[in-house]
Amino acid sequence: MAVEVVMPRLGWTMETGTLAEWIKHDGDVIAEGDVLFAVETDKVAQEVEAVDSGILRIPPGSALPGTEIPVGAVMAYLVQPGEAAPFEQGAAAPAPTAAVAAAPATDPLPSANPAPLVVTEVADGVPTISPRARRIAGELDVDWTVISGTGRTGRIVERDVRAAAAQPVAPRPRVTPVARRVAQQAGVDVDQVASQLPGKRITRADIDAATSAVPESDGIVQPITQIRRIIADRMSQSAHTAAPVTLTTEVDATELAQLRERIKRDIAETGVTPSYTDLLIRLVALALLDHPQLNASFSGDTIVRHQAVHVGIAVDSEQGLLVPVVRDAHLKSVQRIAAESSQLIARARTGKSKADDLRGGTFTLSNLGMYEIDAFTPIINLPECAILGVGRIVARQVVIDEERELVAIRKMMTLSLTFDHRLVDGAPAARFLQQVKRWIERPYGWATQ
C-alpha cells in the first residue's frame, strides 16, 4: 500500500512550509531515514527524512520547489516495486497549494492516430527521467539533466541515456532546482556562477551572493530572500509597535575577565570554555528572577510574566540574523550553558537550526563586542519586553579613588538595555541594569550557583 509523504509540522505554530528542493527524485529507491527534501519554515531550512522505505513517486506538476505547502498536504508517495502510485490509478494528483496548477488530464488509452507530442515533461527546468534510465545514467556516468528525452511527454528513457553515453556532451554544472529558478528570475548566468565555484553544487545562497554583482543603472539589485523578508517584517513591527527606551551604563569588567580566565584554567581540556556571552547569559537569567517585570511579554490584552527564563542569543549567519534560545538558563551552570550555546550557534551559522531552537525566548542578549563596537541601540525581539546590548571589553585608564586621586587601567564595557515602556517603567528597568552592572563588577556568587 502506498505511503503518503506529507508536509510535516516542524513547529507548534507552523501552518505552511516552503519546499526548498527535492533531495531525492521521482523513481528513486528510498530507505527509511533517507533525506527526501528540504523545507524552509520561518528562519529555518530543515531536511526531512523518510519514515518508511519504498520507491518515491512524485505526481507531475505537484509539489514544485519554491511553492508554499500546507502542513499535512500530500506531496508524494512511497510505493513498493510493481505497485502503482495513487495518481497513476486514475486518482487526482494532490494539489498542495491553490497556486500550483493541476496537471492536465491525459487520455489513459492512446487514440488510433495520436497527435505529435509537443509538451516536454520537466520539473523546474530539469527533464524527468525513468527509474531505469536514471540507474543506467549512474552506471555510465552520464549527466542526464542535459539530455533531451524521446519518451512520452519528453521523458528521458534508457535509449536516450545510451545514446548520450556514445556521444558525450559537455558537463553541465550541478544546480539545485531552487537555485536555477532564482537565477532565472534574477537574470543571473548559472554557468558563470558555476565557473567561479568549480566542483561545487550551486545553491540558492550562491545565486543570492551573485546577484549583488548584477549592476543596474542606479545601483545593485538583489532579490530579497524569505529570511531577510521575515527579519525586515519583524524589525519593522518592533519599531512601530513597541515603545522602546534605551538605558546605557559603563561597567568595570576586570573581575569578570579574571573569572573567565580562572574557569578556563580549571576546566583545561575537559570542557567548553565559556565565552563572555555565556557568562552574561547565566548572570542575566538570575537577575531576571529578581526583576520579573523584564522577563515578560504581551499576550492579547494581558501581560505574562514568565516563570522560566529562556535567553535568546543574537547570531549573525549567512541566512541573516537568527536568535537561538538557551532554555531554562536560570537552572543551568555556566559550563552547561557554554556547551549548549556552542551547539545552538554552530547550527544557526550553518543553516541547520531546528525549529525549536528559534522559539520561546523571554529575553534576548546581543553581543557585538567581537566587532569592536563600544555601544549600540538593540531592537527588541517582540513579543519580549527587553534586550541587552553588550559592547567590547577594552582597557582604559579610569579613576578608582577620587579623593586620593588614584587612577588605574581597568577593563571597561558598555551595556545598553532597550525595554518596551508599555510593559515596564524606567525605574524598574534601571534597577535591573544596575544589578547586572554590580554582578559583573563583583562576580562572586552567581557564576557558581
The residues assigned a catalytic role are: 421, 425
Sequence-ordered list of residues with C-beta below 8 angstroms from that of 355, at least 6 positions apart, any chain: 10, 11, 14, 41, 42, 44, 46
Closest by CA to 153, choosing from 195, 188, 187, 123, is 123
- Amino acid letter at 203? T
Distance CA 188, CA 209 (A): 10
- Amino acid letter at 227? I
Radius of gyration over alpha carbons of the chain, in Å?
28
DSSP 3-state of 203: coil
Q: Residue 349: enclosing H or E segment and its boundaries?
A: helix 334-349
Beta bridge partners of 197: none
User: DSSP class of residue 103?
Assistant: P
Cell of 52: 518508511
Beta bridge partners of 305: 296
Beta bridge partners of 70: 16
Cα 84 to Cα 30, 59, 136: the distances in Å are 16, 12, 22
- Amino acid letter at 396? R
Please, how many CA atoms are within 13 Å of residue 357, restricted to the half-sphere of its CB?
27
Q: Which residues of 421-430 are buried (b: 16+ CB within 10 A; e: fewer)?
A: eebbeeeebe
Closest by CA to 350, choosing from 327, 326, 316, is 316
Distance CA 433, CA 364 (A): 14
